[in-house]
Amino acid sequence: MAREQFADRKAAWRRPAWAAIAATVLLAVVIGQPQFQRSSMPVMSPRPPDISDVLKLARERAGESGAQAEIDALALQVVSLAARGES
């Protein structure tokens, strides 16, 4: 009788344990995907953006239609946020 109860309890513990292992493996597989790799994430600049970042963008997008408005907006954002101490 005692042996049967022990077997039942053992079986009851085994199911969640296997579920936890399966979930961990699944999570590891998902995190291992390239889109979740740290190297593929945009690299955050350690310093606040300044006009040199705007110059770089302006060089990259020189000649593109509509780019100037975006570059102007970024430049204004850089100086405004810096002036308000928010960058």
Residues 18-57, mask of contacts with other proteins (x by CB under 8 A) = --------------------------------xxx-xxx-
Of 26 and 81, which CB lies nearer to other proteins in the complex structure? Answer: 81
Question: What's the rounded Cα separation, in Å, for the pair 72 and 55?
Answer: 11
Question: What's the rounded Cα separation, in Å, for the pair 42 and 46?
Answer: 12
Q: Of 3-11, 19-27, 37-45, 78-86, which part binds other proteins (CB under 8 A)?
A: 78-86
Q: Which tokens hold the place of 72?
A: 């102007």
Of 26 and 76, which CB lies nearer to other proteins in the complex structure? Answer: 76
How crowded is the C-beta side of 19, counted as CA atoms within 13 Å? 6
